[in-house]
Chains A and B, each alone.
Chain A
Amino acid sequence: MAKVEIKHLTKIFGKRPKAALKMVKQNKSKDEIVEKTGSTVGVYDISMSIDEGEIFVIMGLSGSGKSTLIRLLNRLIEPTEGQLFIDGQEITKFNKKQMLDIRRQKMSMVFQNFGLFPHRTLLENTEYGLEIQGVEKEERRKRAEQALDNAKLLSYKDQYPSQLSGGMQQRVGLARALTNDPDILLMDEAFSALDPLVRGEMQDELLELQANVQKTIIFITHDLNEALHIGDHIAIMKDGQLQQIGTGEEILTNPANDYVKTFIGGVDRSKVLTAESIMIPSLTTNVDVDGPTVALRKMADEEVSGLVAVNRKRELLGYLSSDEAVKARRNQKPLTQAVSTMPTVALDTLVADIMPIIYDSQTPVAVVDANKRVRGVIIRGSVLEALADTEGEENA
């Protein structure tokens, strides 16, 4: 049996939901409905079921209704129509008291801006859920400290949220949600406010946590990579309506409609790819200035085994591999002598023409403009991806 079952859930904001509902059924656009009725369609006719212990990702651009949907699940927002079952109980029929119990025992939420109480210490924040349930002080302290310990934040327990970095704050938010030991975790763009590096760390932490605790996690994001990274199933939304549900693989290979296609960055046949559209930013070293040690350090930082060597004017000189850099350091030679040549293509070179070059080359291919300046590099992965898209379309 599914853990969470949603049937025809709809939420219309504003004063004339009936009129708006009618217009949605006639497939009128969101803007039109607002203009005519003054009501906004939050979500419309969503049905899905979520299994126990999976990470279910809901994706969409801003305004697609994903945040509304997650708030409908714990009824922070009251649905206009539809039903919602958790463990087979229809919670849309629950009264206030029962709803409080559901929120206290079964569901916890993590927020985009952390939602930590500024006037409470981390420990007081973490134990909040237990505190309002009337759990004894000793007991709730113990559990909150355990949760903070798991988040590696125990030593900060008497600090205030304003004294921590974003990543730490979100770990507290997560610890606070887990202290209640809920079955379901609702995460509303939980990592969107963090910088990319911390974000990646948090995603991995979440996966690790999930391996240990096996919660049902409903995760909202607008970032496809994040969804693919952590999601067992992904649902894509647009204008409050569901476009497609499936595993990451299914969505990438069989996008249900044009919107999903553009959303996942699929290309249509008519568009002919050029070097410019598939290149990625290049990691460069200015060999007029940098020595071998600096270059090696850059490689270590960026986790690559080579850099594009340029001069002061950012003109391409060639490729610097880590081996050559190590040699240069050992022999105390300047980097200019350690640079090997690398293949180059112009910005408007077609992907088809790049293929043979890239297969033969040991190094990435540099994309240069008319002034010999480096604009980006092309690596094998990007070509393969471009190819995969076109192939998929041929098969479809």
Chain B
Amino acid sequence: MDNEKLIHAIERYERSWLLFALVMIVVFLIFIGYTLTGFAFYVPSAAERIDPTTVRNEGSLFANPRVEKTGDNVYTAYVLAQAFTFLPNEIRVPKGAKVVFYVTSPDVQHGFHIRGTNVNVQVIPGEVGKVEHTFNEAGEYLVICNEYCGLGHQDMIGKIIVEDK
């Protein structure tokens, strides 16, 4: 085949390939948009900004890290991720409950990943991150710090216990 013909053939294939690539990417974007309509509560949002040096002080939302029942089958957890534990270290909620997590750090950055779920938040001093999750299965869930935070990082692990009602 001479060069002209060859180039034309290749260019035709290349155009189809690019079209295919673009269509594929648009389809991905549509799927992503779809997940956002149903699961936007997994996108960590900023509840407020907070001074990391005083979060533990009296009067702060996080002075007393805790889980509260805040509605019909809704629980709110105020979690402090700090070197090298989560407070409260154990969270108990009943099966089927929606849990709203507020997470912040008084020291360095941490991660807040509830293993086996899509709750995966970067915990940043100065930010209060908010995410929600509904636990539909009873059992023990591990909360794993997945951002390097110092020598104790690998052992910074918390627990969520979802109880059968």
B partners with A:
no
Give residues in A with beta carbon < 8 Å to B.
none
Q: Which residues of B contact A (CB under 8 A)?
A: none
